[in-house]
Structure 1
Amino acid sequence: MKPELSLAGLSARKHTFTLPLNYDDPQGKKIQVFARELLSNDIDTDSNERPFLVFFQGGPGFSAVRPADNSGWIKRALTEFRVLLLDQRGTGLSTPVSYLSLAHFNSELQAEYLSHFRADNIIRDAEAIREQLCPGQKWSILGQSFGGFCVLKYLNDAPEGVKEAYITGGIPSLTRSADEVYQATYQRVLAKNRDFFTRFSDAQELVTQIAEHLTHHEVRIATGERLTVEMLQLLGINIGMEQGPESVYYLLEHALIETDLGTHVNPLFLAHFCHLLDFNTNPIFALLHESIYCQRSASNWSAQRVRAQYDEFNYEFGKPFLFTGEMVYPWFFEQFTNLKPLKHAANLLATNSDWPTLYNLDTLANNQVPVAAAIYSEDMFVEMSYSLETAKQVGNLKYWLTSEYEHNGIRMDGEHILDKLIALNRGEQLR
């Protein structure tokens, strides 16, 4: 098959697969799942003969990376693999989910449709694709953040398809509830707030001025929504990323401008603000994020309920302003334009107590597939103690615990991180 895309140092092919929405009803409704195959342009080897490494993106609800060149973790991977970038169902070019694509369903049917977009069906898709692309052959898998949840689900459900596995910034708890997860992550968000406001000494003054302005004036962001203090707090999802605190601080710096007609919010701020939040463009994240922790239980808007125990996050004049983190709240579906039509479906998903069990502890304890994981001790999104707890529960898992990186370390230093994990998995010395 001829590559459709040529980039600096690599070529790419497109693949589209027609797969069941519901694997319990294989003759029923179908969806399209897209994957991009990357090949090295190294003239000394035949890339077509190399085994596959499948990448599971973070999220849920985000498409795979669109590479511009042969760099980062992809560069390391292409030295021995063909890389398959999978747009998980509902994202990118894989029958994307949006309020428009769901508009012909009532709320109950929307929720039923969306219930098929968790990690269990992402893995069923991957196995169906493996049987078409390389039947009878095992492949390697790499998961970042939520992609790590997918890796463990793969090892739980279909280890016979996997030769070796890698996880970066995404070892989930196998047993803990959403409430327990948020109890831990709110503590981590508080720590990141302390770090942020210590590093940038005038940031508290800047953000308080913005919050007070928003309290007394109606301000609308570039996508049309009224900018509220609660919405402003959501910028905190970025302070747990490499270079994220800097992006947030520089945004705050030019938020307010003085004109002859008084103080106004800078239009540049309003435009850039939208670029730092993905809730309008990636609805699966808001709809299903809490469900990734649910096994025979409902989340019941866990992040909102647990937040009630942390009064620090409820901004009032005279109190320090704090950012929130990777939390989803029910008011998203009242304030974000593209989420409003999905409000009832979101409530049905949040109250669903019939989510299937994700992990079998005995199966994972007896895992035979070599697994290497990077655990970031300062990760705002994933509680380190829970990751270490899981590492003890999964057989044949080796980990590298480091404080060098934030949650998105693979995006910043992916070539080194993947190289180290491959060496760790194979018992080799790091090159």
Structure 2
Amino acid sequence: MHVEAVQGHTFINDGCCYQNHTFEAPLNYSDPQSARLSIFAREVRLVGDENSAKPWLLFFQGGPGFPSPRPNGHSGWLKAALQRYRVLLLDQRGTGHSSVITHQTLAHLSSTEQAEYLTHFRADNIVRDAETIREKLGIEKWSTLGQSYGGFCTLAYLSLFPDSLLQCYVTGGIPSIDRPIDDVYKATFKRTEQKNKAFFRQFPLAQQLCQKIADHLVNNEECLPNGQRFTVEQFQQIGINFGMSDTFLPIYYLLENAFVDVNGTEKLSYEFLNAMLSEQGFQTNPIYAILHESIYCQGSSSQWSAHRVRQQNEQFNYQQGQPFYFTGEMTFPWMFEQYTNLKPLQGAATLLAEKSDWGDLYNPEVLSSNKVPLSCAVYADDMFVEMALSCETLSKIPNSQAWITNEYEHNGIRADGERVLERLFAIGDQTAATLV
């Protein structure tokens, strides 16, 4: 596959050298004559490592639909990685500087054209981009680090191109490779309920505050700073933060400060409403909303799985006078009716939810004979990626090792990245030694 490459701007910061790379790749790898995409990746190495023999480490960002990190300093997981590797931070197709997808860039397409275009932005094609970049850079083999959805990409890479990989490290991102999508969301809602109970147990007043906010939204029209009507369902979605460490207290503080007196009438404060808008990453990164359920689909449609499973968990459908529950990492059809920047994508979202001929993302037969050391941090209390399903998958992949821990939430690599990655390095070294 012919992939154009352009070396770009280079700069130095905090002992690290950063070099930009831009590649050209086909939208559809089955049709080399299809539209071309621009794929961006940023190389990071220690100053003085320009001619070193250090191997490469490719970073797969979580998501789907978010760009690679923009490091601000030589710290965290990057500090640990640079001791061993030259690092490549990939903006997955559709994110960052890689032919970005937003409501603006899709506006010229019909709903059918949008849906067709978006079918090419799942893990299999992200991996094909990575593989062609590896070839273009002349790298014989490299290692990968995948956070969250980056772990899904890792298993796709191990399925498609295992001979290109030295070692793989995954933090909070080992998916089920064969379960129906509803099984995923049944587990996710159960975890989310547990997180709600833990939050309200720690902050008993928070339940009263949440009900007050929710009742106010039912009975009054409040708009976010972008003019969008703010609803109970949108308010519930800030519960996604419960999957990250040290978020209970900041959310409680937000609730405490929700109302302001305006000439004798209680209104939601601008400060609170602005904070709620800043929580809506769907507005700027629509891939996360429109393709989220498709990352679990192989030969079947999602049919709005999270919405259907939610109906089996009525406690998440708020009714006045009943306890309030936040939701978590789920997407719902109503989002494309309510969110300003998702409304133009409603038709495409419906088509993708109904699509039943999704290709396979993983190859169980290839994974069952895996020879690449696969080292994983599996978080016991992970609200987004169910531990039991992760362990089920790893039991089918030889030369995989899991560090199961309750020390961290889903964002362990951000909370304590240097320690987490060093632990995975040690596990990987031990596994590699047994393969020699």
TM value normalised by structure 1: 0.96
- Residue 8 of structure 1 and its aligned partner are, at CA, apart by 1.7
Partners of 2:35 and 2:363 in 1: how far apart? Answer: 29
Q: 1:349 to 1:272 in 2, by over 3 A?
A: same
Query: 153-162 or 261-270, which moves further after superposition?
Result: 261-270
1:134, distance to aligned residue in structure 2 (A)? 2.5
Alignment match, 2:347? 344
- 1:46, CA displacement in angstroms? 4.7
Amino acid at match of 1:36: R
- Name the counterpart of 1:248: 251
Amino acid at match of 1:386: L
* 1:269 correspondence with 2:260: no
User: Which of 116, 120, 126 is the equivalent residue of 2:124?
Assistant: 120
Aligned with residue 288 of structure 1, among 265, 269, 291? 291
Shift of 1:128: 0.5
Instruction: Establish whether residue 69 from structure 1 lines up as the match of residue 73 from structure 2.
Output: yes
Structure 2: give runs of 5+ residues left out of the alignment.
1-6, 432-436
1:52 touches 1:140 (CA, 8 Å); kept in 2? yes
Question: What residue is the counterpart of 1:59 in the other structure?
Answer: 63
Structure 2 contact 8–22 (Cα < 8 Å) conserved: no
8 Å contact 2:8–2:21 — kept in the other structure? no
Residue 108 in 1 paired to residue 97 in 2? no
2:76 equivalent to 1:97: no
Report % sequence identity: 51
* Matched ranges for 1:309-328 at <5 A: 309-328=312-331
Deviations 1:239-288 (A, max 9, x none): 11112222322211211112323101111111111222201011001110
More deviation, 268-277/342-351:
268-277
Q: 1:220 aligns with which of 220, 223, 246?
A: 223
TM-score (norm 2): 0.95
- On the 8 A contact 2:56/2:85 being kept in 1, the answer is yes
Answer yes or no: is the 8 Å Cα contact 2:229–2:338 preserved in 1: yes
Alignment of 1:7 onto 2:10: no
> Which runs of 5 or more residues in structure 1 are unaligned?
none
Say which of 190, 199, 202 aligns to 1:199: 202
Cα distance in structure 2, aligned partners of 1:358 and 1:132: 24
* 8 A contact 1:374–1:400 mirrored in 2: yes
Say whether the 8 Å CA contact 1:47–1:81 is kept in structure 2.
no
- 2:174 is the counterpart of 1:168: no
1 CA distance for matches of 2:248 and 2:92? Answer: 28
1:133-156 residue CA offsets vs partner (Å, 9 max, x unmatched) = 124x10000000000000000000
Paired letter, 1:67: P
2:334 corresponds to 1:331:
yes
State the Cα distance separating 1:3 from its structure 2 match: 6.2
Q: Which moved more, 1:300-309 or 1:238-247?
A: 238-247
Report if the CA contact (8 A) 1:39-1:48 is conserved: no
Deviations 1:171-190 (A, max 9, x none): 00010111110011100000
User: For 1:427, what is the secondary structure of its paired residue?
Assistant: helix
CA distance in 1, matches of 2:418, 2:152: 22
Range 49-58 or range 302-311, more displaced: 49-58
Matched, 1:368 2:371: yes
Residue by residue over 1:321-380, the C-alpha shift from the partner in whole angstroms, topping out at 9 and shown as x without a partner, is: 000010000011000011000100000000000000122211101001111000000000
Structure 1 window deviating more from structure 2 (256-265 vs 415-424): it is 256-265
- The 2-side partners of 1:325 and 1:400 are apart by 24
Instruction: Tell me if structure 1 keeps the 8 A contact 2:142–2:167.
Output: yes
Offset of 1:405 from its aligned partner?
0.3
Q: 1:138 to 1:383 in 2, by over 3 A?
A: same
Paired with 1:213 and 1:202, the residues of 2 have a C-alpha distance of 17
State the one-letter code of the partner of 1:65: P
Contact 2:8 2:20 in 1 (8 A): no
Q: Which amino acid aligns with 1:276?
A: E
Bigger Cα displacement from structure 2, 335-344 vs 241-250: 241-250
Structure 2 residue corresponding to 1:411, chosen from 411, 414, 417: 414
Q: Which residue is 1:152 aligned to?
A: 155
- Relative to structure 1, the CA distance from residue 48 to residue 107 in structure 2 (aligned partners, 3 Å threshold; closer, same or farther) is farther
Distance in structure 1 (CA, Å) of the matches to 2:8 and 2:345: 41
Closer/same/farther in 2, CA of residues 406 and 160 from structure 1, 3 Å limit = same
Note if 1:30 corresponds to 2:42.
no
Give the one of 138, 141, 153 matched to 1:138. 141
Work out whether residues 302 and 354 of structure 2, in 8 Å CA contact, stay in contact via their aligned partners in 1: yes
Q: Tell me, yes or no, if the aligned pair for 1:333 and 1:340 is still in contact at 8 Å.
A: yes
Provide the C-alpha distance between the structure 2 equivalents of 1:8 and 1:264, rounded to a whole number of angstroms: 46
- Give the whole-Å Cα distance in 2 for the aligned partners of 1:7 and 1:226: 43
Partner of residue 356, structure 2: 353
Alpha-carbon contact 1:3-1:11 (below 8 Å) kept: no
SS in 1 for 2:243: coil
SS state at 2:29 partner? coil
Q: Which moved more, 1:257-266 or 1:54-63?
A: 257-266
Aligned length: 425
1-structure distance, mates of 2:369, 2:53: 31
Q: 2:263 aligns with which of 257, 260, 263?
A: 260
Q: Give the AA of the match of 2:102.
A: S
Task: Give distance in 1, aligned partners of 2:266 and 2:15.
Answer: 50
For residue 67 of structure 2, what is the amino acid of its counterpart? S
The answer (yes or no) to whether the contact 1:39–1:47 under 8 Å persists in 2 is no
Q: Measure the CA separation in 2 of the matches of 1:131 and 1:230.
A: 46
